[in-house]
Amino acid sequence: MPFPIYYQHDLAEVPHNNFILMQKANAGEAKAEHEVGQRYLAGNGFEADTLKSFYWIERAAMKKLPIALYNLAVFQNNGWGTEWNPYKAFDNFFASAMEGFPLGNYAVGKFFTDNLVVPKNLSVAYYFMLKAANSDVEQSKELLEKLNKSNPVKLDSSQVALIIANNKKNNFTPKKDADILSFYYFAKDSLTKTDDSTLLADVLNQNIKSNDEKSDIKTIRQDSFFVKNLLDKINWGSPEAMILLGRLYEEGIYFKKNILSAATYYCRATRLESSKAEKILRELIKTPDFLVQLKKEAEKGNVEAQYLVGSLYAQHLITNIVGTDALKLLQKSANKNYIPAVIELGDWTIGGIVVYKNIALSTQLWRHAMRHGNKEAEIRLGVSQLLADEIFGEREALYQTFEKGEEEGSILAQTALGICFEKGILVKKDLAKAVTYYRKAAFRGSQNAFSALKRIYDNLRPNDPRFIVTE
Protein backbone atom coordinates (compact mmCIF):
# COMPACT_ATOMS: atom_id res chain seq x y z
CA MET A 1 0.00 0.00 0.00
CA PRO A 2 2.30 2.79 -1.27
CA PHE A 3 2.08 6.36 -0.07
CA PRO A 4 3.97 9.63 -0.72
CA ILE A 5 6.64 8.80 1.80
CA TYR A 6 8.72 11.95 1.34
CA TYR A 7 6.62 14.92 2.37
CA GLN A 8 7.32 18.17 0.55
CA HIS A 9 5.68 21.29 1.87
CA ASP A 10 6.10 24.81 0.56
CA LEU A 11 6.54 27.03 3.58
CA ALA A 12 4.93 30.35 2.66
CA GLU A 13 6.86 32.24 5.32
CA VAL A 14 10.23 31.12 3.90
CA PRO A 15 11.50 33.62 1.31
CA HIS A 16 11.99 32.18 -2.18
CA ASN A 17 15.23 34.10 -2.68
CA ASN A 18 17.95 31.50 -2.23
CA PHE A 19 20.42 33.99 -0.84
CA ILE A 20 18.07 35.14 1.92
CA LEU A 21 16.99 31.53 2.50
CA MET A 22 20.62 30.43 3.00
CA GLN A 23 21.20 33.33 5.39
CA LYS A 24 18.28 32.20 7.52
CA ALA A 25 19.39 28.56 7.34
CA ASN A 26 22.95 29.39 8.34
CA ALA A 27 21.56 31.40 11.22
CA GLY A 28 19.86 28.22 12.48
CA GLU A 29 16.23 28.84 11.52
CA ALA A 30 14.72 25.33 11.41
CA LYS A 31 12.11 25.98 8.69
CA ALA A 32 14.71 27.56 6.44
CA GLU A 33 17.10 24.64 7.02
CA HIS A 34 14.40 22.19 6.06
CA GLU A 35 13.46 24.21 2.97
CA VAL A 36 17.11 24.24 1.84
CA GLY A 37 17.19 20.47 2.29
CA GLN A 38 14.07 20.10 0.16
CA ARG A 39 15.51 22.28 -2.58
CA TYR A 40 18.75 20.31 -2.67
CA LEU A 41 16.78 17.08 -2.96
CA ALA A 42 14.59 18.37 -5.80
CA GLY A 43 17.29 20.42 -7.55
CA ASN A 44 15.12 23.50 -7.09
CA GLY A 45 17.36 26.57 -7.11
CA PHE A 46 20.35 24.44 -6.11
CA GLU A 47 22.15 21.65 -7.92
CA ALA A 48 20.53 18.38 -6.81
CA ASP A 49 22.63 16.87 -4.04
CA THR A 50 21.23 14.16 -1.73
CA LEU A 51 24.11 14.45 0.75
CA LYS A 52 23.55 18.17 1.22
CA SER A 53 19.82 17.61 1.40
CA PHE A 54 20.31 15.13 4.25
CA TYR A 55 22.67 17.54 6.04
CA TRP A 56 20.17 20.39 6.11
CA ILE A 57 17.14 18.26 6.94
CA GLU A 58 19.06 16.66 9.81
CA ARG A 59 19.92 20.13 11.14
CA ALA A 60 16.23 21.06 11.09
CA ALA A 61 15.27 17.77 12.74
CA MET A 62 17.65 18.42 15.61
CA LYS A 63 15.45 21.40 16.44
CA LYS A 64 12.39 19.11 16.62
CA LEU A 65 10.70 20.52 13.52
CA PRO A 66 8.02 17.83 12.95
CA ILE A 67 8.19 17.70 9.15
CA ALA A 68 12.01 17.53 9.33
CA LEU A 69 11.92 14.67 11.84
CA TYR A 70 9.62 12.79 9.50
CA ASN A 71 11.69 13.43 6.36
CA LEU A 72 14.93 12.62 8.17
CA ALA A 73 13.38 9.25 8.99
CA VAL A 74 12.56 8.81 5.30
CA PHE A 75 16.22 9.37 4.40
CA GLN A 76 17.37 6.88 7.03
CA ASN A 77 14.81 4.28 6.04
CA ASN A 78 15.82 4.50 2.38
CA GLY A 79 19.55 5.10 2.74
CA TRP A 80 19.41 8.48 0.99
CA GLY A 81 22.53 10.53 1.73
CA THR A 82 23.26 8.39 4.78
CA GLU A 83 23.58 4.75 5.78
CA TRP A 84 20.37 2.74 5.73
CA ASN A 85 19.16 2.37 9.31
CA PRO A 86 15.48 1.53 9.96
CA TYR A 87 15.98 1.73 13.72
CA LYS A 88 17.07 5.38 13.63
CA ALA A 89 14.26 5.92 11.17
CA PHE A 90 11.73 4.49 13.60
CA ASP A 91 12.93 6.80 16.37
CA ASN A 92 12.52 9.84 14.14
CA PHE A 93 9.15 8.74 12.76
CA PHE A 94 8.06 8.30 16.38
CA ALA A 95 9.43 11.71 17.33
CA SER A 96 7.53 13.35 14.47
CA ALA A 97 4.36 11.57 15.62
CA MET A 98 4.86 12.85 19.17
CA GLU A 99 5.27 16.35 17.73
CA GLY A 100 1.87 15.95 16.07
CA PHE A 101 2.84 15.24 12.46
CA PRO A 102 0.02 13.09 10.97
CA LEU A 103 2.17 11.07 8.54
CA GLY A 104 4.47 10.30 11.47
CA ASN A 105 1.57 8.54 13.18
CA TYR A 106 0.87 6.62 9.98
CA ALA A 107 4.51 5.52 9.60
CA VAL A 108 4.78 4.42 13.26
CA GLY A 109 1.56 2.46 12.91
CA LYS A 110 2.93 0.58 9.92
CA PHE A 111 6.13 -0.31 11.79
CA PHE A 112 3.97 -2.13 14.34
CA THR A 113 2.38 -4.32 11.63
CA ASP A 114 5.42 -6.06 10.13
CA ASN A 115 7.46 -7.51 13.05
CA LEU A 116 10.79 -6.35 11.64
CA VAL A 117 11.97 -3.28 13.57
CA VAL A 118 9.66 -3.46 16.58
CA PRO A 119 7.49 -6.35 17.79
CA LYS A 120 4.26 -6.67 15.86
CA ASN A 121 1.41 -5.21 17.89
CA LEU A 122 -1.80 -4.56 15.97
CA SER A 123 -3.40 -2.79 18.91
CA VAL A 124 -0.61 -0.21 18.98
CA ALA A 125 -0.64 -0.01 15.18
CA TYR A 126 -4.37 0.64 15.28
CA TYR A 127 -3.92 3.50 17.76
CA PHE A 128 -1.40 5.36 15.59
CA MET A 129 -3.31 4.61 12.38
CA LEU A 130 -6.49 5.96 13.94
CA LYS A 131 -4.69 9.19 14.95
CA ALA A 132 -3.45 9.57 11.38
CA ALA A 133 -6.88 8.79 9.92
CA ASN A 134 -8.48 11.38 12.21
CA SER A 135 -6.04 13.88 10.67
CA ASP A 136 -7.28 12.92 7.19
CA VAL A 137 -4.35 10.74 6.12
CA GLU A 138 -6.17 8.78 3.41
CA GLN A 139 -3.63 5.94 3.32
CA SER A 140 -4.24 5.35 7.01
CA LYS A 141 -7.98 5.12 6.43
CA GLU A 142 -7.36 2.47 3.75
CA LEU A 143 -5.10 0.42 5.99
CA LEU A 144 -7.53 0.61 8.90
CA GLU A 145 -10.21 -0.78 6.62
CA LYS A 146 -7.87 -3.63 5.62
CA LEU A 147 -7.07 -4.39 9.25
CA ASN A 148 -10.72 -4.43 10.21
CA LYS A 149 -11.61 -6.78 7.36
CA SER A 150 -8.84 -9.30 7.86
CA ASN A 151 -8.30 -9.23 11.60
CA PRO A 152 -10.48 -6.88 13.68
CA VAL A 153 -8.34 -5.20 16.33
CA LYS A 154 -9.29 -4.37 19.89
CA LEU A 155 -7.54 -1.24 21.13
CA ASP A 156 -5.57 -1.83 24.35
CA SER A 157 -4.82 1.57 25.89
CA SER A 158 -2.41 0.11 28.46
CA GLN A 159 -0.20 -1.36 25.71
CA VAL A 160 -0.23 1.93 23.84
CA ALA A 161 0.70 3.88 26.98
CA LEU A 162 3.60 1.52 27.68
CA ILE A 163 4.95 1.80 24.12
CA ILE A 164 4.78 5.59 24.20
CA ALA A 165 6.44 5.76 27.61
CA ASN A 166 9.28 3.42 26.58
CA ASN A 167 10.00 5.34 23.39
CA LYS A 168 9.78 8.77 24.96
CA LYS A 169 12.72 7.83 27.17
CA ASN A 170 14.99 7.96 24.13
CA ASN A 171 16.64 11.15 22.92
CA PHE A 172 15.42 11.81 19.41
CA THR A 173 18.17 13.40 17.38
CA PRO A 174 17.32 13.89 14.58
CA LYS A 175 13.09 9.47 -5.40
CA LYS A 176 9.96 8.85 -5.89
CA ASP A 177 9.33 5.05 -5.67
CA ALA A 178 10.62 4.24 -2.19
CA ASP A 179 8.31 1.30 -1.57
CA ILE A 180 8.72 1.01 2.19
CA LEU A 181 6.61 0.07 5.16
CA SER A 182 4.32 -2.30 3.27
CA PHE A 183 1.69 -4.16 5.26
CA TYR A 184 2.40 -7.86 5.65
CA TYR A 185 -0.25 -10.25 6.90
CA PHE A 186 0.68 -13.92 6.51
CA ALA A 187 -1.85 -15.32 8.97
CA LYS A 188 -5.09 -16.89 7.73
CA ASP A 189 -7.70 -14.15 7.49
CA SER A 190 -11.34 -14.41 8.46
CA LEU A 191 -12.74 -13.95 4.95
CA THR A 192 -14.47 -17.07 3.68
CA LYS A 193 -14.39 -16.27 -0.03
CA THR A 194 -11.93 -14.31 -2.13
CA ASP A 195 -14.15 -12.20 -4.36
CA ASP A 196 -13.61 -11.59 -8.06
CA SER A 197 -13.10 -7.84 -7.67
CA THR A 198 -10.14 -8.43 -5.33
CA LEU A 199 -8.47 -10.79 -7.82
CA LEU A 200 -9.02 -8.31 -10.63
CA ALA A 201 -7.60 -5.45 -8.55
CA ASP A 202 -4.52 -7.52 -7.71
CA VAL A 203 -3.79 -7.99 -11.42
CA LEU A 204 -4.49 -4.38 -12.34
CA ASN A 205 -1.99 -3.34 -9.68
CA GLN A 206 0.63 -5.21 -11.73
CA ASN A 207 0.04 -2.74 -14.58
CA ILE A 208 -1.54 -5.20 -17.01
CA LYS A 209 -2.75 -3.52 -20.20
CA SER A 210 -6.35 -3.54 -21.34
CA ASN A 211 -8.48 -1.96 -24.04
CA ASP A 212 -11.05 -0.86 -21.48
CA GLU A 213 -11.12 0.11 -17.85
CA LYS A 214 -11.80 -3.02 -15.84
CA SER A 215 -14.22 -2.93 -12.92
CA ASP A 216 -15.82 -6.37 -13.20
CA ILE A 217 -14.35 -9.76 -14.02
CA LYS A 218 -17.20 -10.37 -16.46
CA THR A 219 -15.92 -7.55 -18.70
CA ILE A 220 -13.04 -9.85 -19.64
CA ARG A 221 -15.44 -12.11 -21.55
CA GLN A 222 -14.70 -10.51 -24.94
CA ASP A 223 -11.35 -8.84 -24.21
CA SER A 224 -8.69 -10.86 -26.06
CA PHE A 225 -6.13 -8.06 -25.64
CA PHE A 226 -6.45 -8.23 -21.84
CA VAL A 227 -6.21 -12.04 -21.84
CA LYS A 228 -3.10 -11.94 -24.03
CA ASN A 229 -1.41 -9.59 -21.57
CA LEU A 230 -2.60 -11.78 -18.71
CA LEU A 231 -0.92 -14.80 -20.34
CA ASP A 232 2.28 -12.78 -20.85
CA LYS A 233 2.37 -11.98 -17.13
CA ILE A 234 1.84 -15.66 -16.34
CA ASN A 235 4.75 -16.62 -18.59
CA TRP A 236 6.99 -14.37 -16.47
CA GLY A 237 5.63 -15.84 -13.23
CA SER A 238 3.03 -13.42 -11.89
CA PRO A 239 0.97 -15.25 -9.23
CA GLU A 240 -1.79 -12.61 -9.37
CA ALA A 241 -2.24 -13.21 -13.10
CA MET A 242 -2.30 -16.97 -12.53
CA ILE A 243 -5.00 -16.65 -9.88
CA LEU A 244 -7.19 -14.48 -12.09
CA LEU A 245 -6.83 -16.85 -15.04
CA GLY A 246 -7.73 -19.72 -12.74
CA ARG A 247 -10.89 -17.87 -11.74
CA LEU A 248 -11.77 -17.34 -15.43
CA TYR A 249 -11.53 -21.10 -15.99
CA GLU A 250 -13.44 -21.81 -12.78
CA GLU A 251 -16.34 -19.55 -13.75
CA GLY A 252 -16.26 -20.17 -17.52
CA ILE A 253 -15.45 -16.57 -18.45
CA TYR A 254 -13.67 -16.16 -21.82
CA PHE A 255 -12.60 -19.82 -21.62
CA LYS A 256 -14.77 -22.90 -21.43
CA LYS A 257 -15.30 -23.86 -17.81
CA ASN A 258 -12.57 -26.29 -16.71
CA ILE A 259 -12.01 -27.03 -13.02
CA LEU A 260 -8.71 -28.83 -13.60
CA SER A 261 -7.30 -25.87 -15.55
CA ALA A 262 -8.47 -23.56 -12.77
CA ALA A 263 -6.72 -25.74 -10.19
CA THR A 264 -3.56 -25.76 -12.31
CA TYR A 265 -3.23 -22.00 -12.30
CA TYR A 266 -4.06 -21.77 -8.59
CA CYS A 267 -1.47 -24.46 -7.97
CA ARG A 268 1.22 -22.65 -9.95
CA ALA A 269 0.49 -19.44 -8.04
CA THR A 270 0.72 -21.31 -4.74
CA ARG A 271 4.15 -22.58 -5.77
CA LEU A 272 5.09 -18.92 -6.10
CA GLU A 273 4.15 -18.41 -2.42
CA SER A 274 0.74 -16.84 -2.90
CA SER A 275 -1.24 -17.54 0.27
CA LYS A 276 -4.35 -16.24 -1.46
CA ALA A 277 -3.96 -18.87 -4.19
CA GLU A 278 -3.46 -21.61 -1.60
CA LYS A 279 -6.68 -20.64 0.13
CA ILE A 280 -8.65 -20.72 -3.14
CA LEU A 281 -7.01 -24.00 -4.14
CA ARG A 282 -7.90 -25.67 -0.84
CA GLU A 283 -11.52 -24.61 -1.32
CA LEU A 284 -11.54 -26.04 -4.85
CA ILE A 285 -10.04 -29.37 -3.78
CA LYS A 286 -12.88 -29.77 -1.26
CA THR A 287 -15.57 -29.50 -3.94
CA PRO A 288 -17.50 -32.73 -4.65
CA ASP A 289 -15.82 -35.17 -7.04
CA PHE A 290 -12.75 -32.97 -7.64
CA LEU A 291 -10.26 -35.62 -6.50
CA VAL A 292 -12.22 -38.36 -8.29
CA GLN A 293 -12.08 -36.39 -11.54
CA LEU A 294 -8.39 -35.60 -11.02
CA LYS A 295 -7.50 -39.27 -10.52
CA LYS A 296 -9.59 -40.34 -13.53
CA GLU A 297 -8.00 -37.77 -15.85
CA ALA A 298 -4.47 -38.55 -14.64
CA GLU A 299 -4.98 -42.25 -15.36
CA LYS A 300 -6.25 -41.35 -18.86
CA GLY A 301 -2.95 -39.56 -19.57
CA ASN A 302 -4.15 -35.97 -19.20
CA VAL A 303 -0.86 -34.06 -18.81
CA GLU A 304 -2.50 -31.26 -16.83
CA ALA A 305 -3.99 -33.73 -14.34
CA GLN A 306 -0.68 -35.60 -14.05
CA TYR A 307 1.11 -32.33 -13.30
CA LEU A 308 -1.54 -31.40 -10.74
CA VAL A 309 -1.19 -34.66 -8.83
CA GLY A 310 2.56 -34.18 -8.56
CA SER A 311 2.42 -30.52 -7.56
CA LEU A 312 -0.42 -31.00 -5.06
CA TYR A 313 1.51 -33.86 -3.47
CA ALA A 314 4.65 -31.72 -3.17
CA GLN A 315 2.63 -29.02 -1.42
CA HIS A 316 1.02 -31.55 0.96
CA LEU A 317 -2.43 -30.70 -0.39
CA ILE A 318 -3.30 -34.32 -1.25
CA THR A 319 -2.31 -37.39 0.74
CA ASN A 320 -4.01 -40.27 -1.05
CA ILE A 321 -0.94 -41.11 -3.16
CA VAL A 322 2.63 -42.17 -2.38
CA GLY A 323 5.55 -40.04 -3.44
CA THR A 324 6.96 -42.41 -6.03
CA ASP A 325 3.60 -42.65 -7.82
CA ALA A 326 3.23 -38.86 -7.80
CA LEU A 327 6.75 -38.59 -9.24
CA LYS A 328 5.93 -41.02 -12.06
CA LEU A 329 2.87 -38.99 -13.06
CA LEU A 330 4.86 -35.77 -12.97
CA GLN A 331 7.61 -37.32 -15.10
CA LYS A 332 5.04 -38.55 -17.65
CA SER A 333 3.64 -35.05 -17.94
CA ALA A 334 7.10 -33.51 -18.30
CA ASN A 335 8.12 -36.12 -20.89
CA LYS A 336 5.14 -34.98 -23.00
CA ASN A 337 6.61 -31.48 -22.85
CA TYR A 338 3.98 -29.99 -20.55
CA ILE A 339 6.04 -26.97 -19.44
CA PRO A 340 4.52 -26.46 -15.94
CA ALA A 341 5.46 -30.09 -15.22
CA VAL A 342 9.00 -29.51 -16.51
CA ILE A 343 9.38 -26.53 -14.17
CA GLU A 344 7.85 -28.46 -11.26
CA LEU A 345 10.19 -31.38 -11.85
CA GLY A 346 13.08 -28.92 -11.71
CA ASP A 347 11.82 -27.83 -8.28
CA TRP A 348 11.74 -31.47 -7.16
CA THR A 349 15.29 -32.18 -8.28
CA ILE A 350 16.80 -29.01 -6.79
CA GLY A 351 14.88 -29.47 -3.54
CA GLY A 352 15.30 -33.23 -3.19
CA ILE A 353 11.55 -33.94 -3.20
CA VAL A 354 11.14 -37.75 -3.44
CA VAL A 355 14.26 -37.85 -5.67
CA TYR A 356 17.88 -37.20 -4.70
CA LYS A 357 18.94 -33.57 -4.96
CA ASN A 358 20.39 -32.96 -8.42
CA ILE A 359 21.19 -29.34 -9.29
CA ALA A 360 22.54 -30.26 -12.72
CA LEU A 361 19.27 -31.96 -13.66
CA SER A 362 17.14 -29.06 -12.43
CA THR A 363 19.28 -26.71 -14.51
CA GLN A 364 18.77 -28.95 -17.53
CA LEU A 365 15.00 -29.01 -17.00
CA TRP A 366 14.69 -25.25 -16.58
CA ARG A 367 16.88 -24.66 -19.65
CA HIS A 368 14.52 -26.92 -21.60
CA ALA A 369 11.51 -24.86 -20.46
CA MET A 370 13.41 -21.65 -21.21
CA ARG A 371 14.14 -22.79 -24.77
CA HIS A 372 10.40 -23.18 -25.21
CA GLY A 373 9.94 -19.51 -24.31
CA ASN A 374 9.09 -19.79 -20.62
CA LYS A 375 10.43 -16.76 -18.76
CA GLU A 376 9.60 -18.08 -15.29
CA ALA A 377 12.03 -20.95 -15.89
CA GLU A 378 14.68 -18.47 -17.06
CA ILE A 379 14.33 -16.49 -13.84
CA ARG A 380 14.38 -19.66 -11.72
CA LEU A 381 17.62 -20.60 -13.45
CA GLY A 382 19.03 -17.14 -12.73
CA VAL A 383 18.04 -17.29 -9.06
CA SER A 384 19.73 -20.68 -8.67
CA GLN A 385 22.92 -19.14 -10.08
CA LEU A 386 22.71 -16.24 -7.63
CA LEU A 387 22.28 -18.58 -4.68
CA ALA A 388 25.22 -20.71 -5.83
CA ASP A 389 27.21 -17.56 -6.65
CA GLU A 390 27.99 -19.01 -10.09
CA ILE A 391 26.96 -16.82 -13.02
CA PHE A 392 27.40 -18.70 -16.29
CA GLY A 393 26.08 -16.32 -18.93
CA GLU A 394 26.31 -12.61 -19.62
CA ARG A 395 26.02 -10.86 -16.25
CA GLU A 396 24.44 -7.68 -17.57
CA ALA A 397 21.89 -9.69 -19.57
CA LEU A 398 20.93 -11.66 -16.45
CA TYR A 399 20.37 -8.49 -14.47
CA GLN A 400 18.26 -7.05 -17.29
CA THR A 401 16.17 -10.24 -17.27
CA PHE A 402 15.50 -9.73 -13.56
CA GLU A 403 14.57 -6.09 -14.15
CA LYS A 404 12.23 -7.02 -17.00
CA GLY A 405 10.75 -9.82 -14.91
CA GLU A 406 10.07 -7.44 -12.03
CA GLU A 407 8.36 -5.07 -14.45
CA GLU A 408 6.21 -7.95 -15.77
CA GLY A 409 5.07 -9.05 -12.33
CA SER A 410 7.51 -11.86 -11.53
CA ILE A 411 7.69 -12.29 -7.77
CA LEU A 412 10.84 -14.41 -8.22
CA ALA A 413 12.49 -11.55 -10.12
CA GLN A 414 11.78 -9.17 -7.24
CA THR A 415 13.41 -11.60 -4.84
CA ALA A 416 16.34 -12.04 -7.26
CA LEU A 417 16.92 -8.28 -7.35
CA GLY A 418 16.86 -8.29 -3.55
CA ILE A 419 19.57 -10.96 -3.56
CA CYS A 420 21.63 -8.98 -6.08
CA PHE A 421 21.64 -5.82 -3.96
CA GLU A 422 22.03 -7.66 -0.65
CA LYS A 423 25.09 -9.62 -1.75
CA GLY A 424 26.53 -7.20 -4.30
CA ILE A 425 26.13 -9.68 -7.17
CA LEU A 426 25.77 -8.12 -10.66
CA VAL A 427 25.39 -4.70 -8.99
CA LYS A 428 26.98 -2.67 -6.22
CA LYS A 429 25.86 -3.78 -2.76
CA ASP A 430 23.00 -1.61 -1.48
CA LEU A 431 20.99 -2.86 1.49
CA ALA A 432 18.36 -0.15 1.13
CA LYS A 433 17.57 -1.29 -2.42
CA ALA A 434 17.66 -4.94 -1.33
CA VAL A 435 15.08 -4.15 1.32
CA THR A 436 12.91 -2.34 -1.24
CA TYR A 437 12.75 -5.40 -3.52
CA TYR A 438 12.34 -7.90 -0.70
CA ARG A 439 9.50 -5.78 0.69
CA LYS A 440 7.72 -5.78 -2.66
CA ALA A 441 7.90 -9.57 -2.84
CA ALA A 442 6.94 -10.02 0.82
CA PHE A 443 3.98 -7.69 0.37
CA ARG A 444 2.71 -10.06 -2.34
CA GLY A 445 3.04 -13.07 -0.04
CA SER A 446 6.62 -14.35 -0.33
CA GLN A 447 7.74 -15.62 3.05
CA ASN A 448 11.19 -16.32 1.59
CA ALA A 449 11.52 -12.61 0.85
CA PHE A 450 10.22 -11.78 4.32
CA SER A 451 12.83 -14.12 5.85
CA ALA A 452 15.51 -12.30 3.87
CA LEU A 453 14.20 -9.00 5.23
CA LYS A 454 14.31 -10.37 8.76
CA ARG A 455 17.90 -11.50 8.26
CA ILE A 456 18.99 -8.04 7.06
CA TYR A 457 17.22 -6.30 9.93
CA ASP A 458 18.62 -8.73 12.50
CA ASN A 459 22.18 -8.09 11.30
CA LEU A 460 21.71 -4.40 12.11
CA ARG A 461 19.48 -4.75 15.18
CA PRO A 462 20.73 -2.62 18.13
CA ASN A 463 20.96 -3.93 21.67
CA ASP A 464 17.79 -2.20 22.80
CA PRO A 465 14.79 -3.89 24.46
CA ARG A 466 12.41 -1.87 22.28
CA PHE A 467 13.71 -3.62 19.18
CA ILE A 468 13.63 -7.23 20.39
CA VAL A 469 11.49 -9.13 17.90
CA THR A 470 10.48 -12.76 18.29
CA GLU A 471 9.07 -15.06 15.63
Lowest mean pLDDT among 131-135, 196-200, 243-247, 271-275: 196-200
Q: How confident is the model at residue 413 (pLDDT cuts 50, 70, 90)?
A: very high
Among 135, 168, 201, identify where a domain stops. 168
| pLDDT band at 154; cut points 50, 70, 90 | low
Domain boundary among 168, 185, 206: 168
Contacts of 203 (CB under 8 A, 6+ apart): 230, 233, 238, 240, 241, 244
Round the average pLDDT of the chain to a whole number and report it: 85
What pLDDT digit, counting tens, does each position of 281-321 carry?
A: 999 999 989 999 999 999 999 999 999 999 999 999 998 89
Task: Give the per-residue pLDDT at 139.
Answer: 84
pLDDT over threshold 90, residue 389:
no
Count of the separate structural domains present in the chain: 2
Q: Is residue 82 part of a domain?
A: yes
pLDDT range class, residue 259, cuts 50, 70, 90: very high
- Asked if the structure places residue 110 within a domain, the reply is yes
Report yes or no on 225 lying in a domain: no
Q: What is the pLDDT of residues 158-193, one digit of tens each?
A: 667 777 777 765 543 333 333 333 333 334 443 445
User: What was the pLDDT predicted at 178?
Assistant: 35
**Domain stops at, among 118, 136, 168:** 168
285 occurs within a structural domain: no
Which pLDDT does position 152 carry in this prediction? Answer: 64
Q: How many of the other CB atoms lie within 10 Å of CB of 151?
A: 13
Q: Are 344 and 336 in contact (CB under 8 A)?
A: no
At residue 220, the pLDDT reads 85
| Residue 48 falls inside a structural domain | yes
What pLDDT, on the 0 to 100 scale, is given for residue 18? 80
pLDDT above 50 for 401: yes
* CA gap 344, 348 in Å, rounded: 6
pLDDT value, residue 203: 72
Q: What is the pLDDT of residue 171?
A: 44
Closest CA to 257 of 243, 242, 265, 246: 246
Distances (CA, A) of 458 to 10, 39, 117, 390, 453: 38, 35, 9, 27, 9
**CATH number reported for the structural domain that contains residue 135 in this entry:** 1.25.40.10
Q: Report, as an integer, the average pLDDT of 358-363.
A: 92
Is a pLDDT exceeding 50 seen at residue 100? Answer: yes
Residue 182 is predicted with a pLDDT of 36
Residue 10 clears pLDDT 60, i.e. is over it: no
230 in any annotated domain? no
pLDDT in tens, 48-89: 899 999 999 999 999 999 999 999 999 999 888 899 999 999
**Confidence at residue 98, expressed as pLDDT on a 0 to 100 scale:** 92
SS3 of 113-127? HHCCCCCCCHHHHHH
Share of the chain above pLDDT 70, in %: 86
Residue 267 pLDDT exceeds 90: yes
For a pLDDT cut of 90, what percent of the chain falls above it? 60
Tell me, what DSSP letter sits at residue 27?
T
Flag whether pLDDT at 146 surpasses 50.
yes
In a domain, 433, yes or no: yes
Report DSSP state, residue 221: G
CB burial of residue 456 (10 Å; 0-12, 13-18, 19+): buried
Structure-model confidence comparison of residues 201 and 266, the more confident one: 266
Is position 332 within any domain? no
**91 is in which domain, residue-wise?**
18-168
Among candidate residues 238, 197, 189, 187, the one with its CA nearest the CA of residue 220: 197
Question: DSSP letter string over 321-382?
Answer: S-HHHHHHHHHHHHHTT-HHHHHHHHHHHHHTSSSPP-HHHHHHHHHHHHHTT-HHHHHHHH
DSSP symbol at 155: -
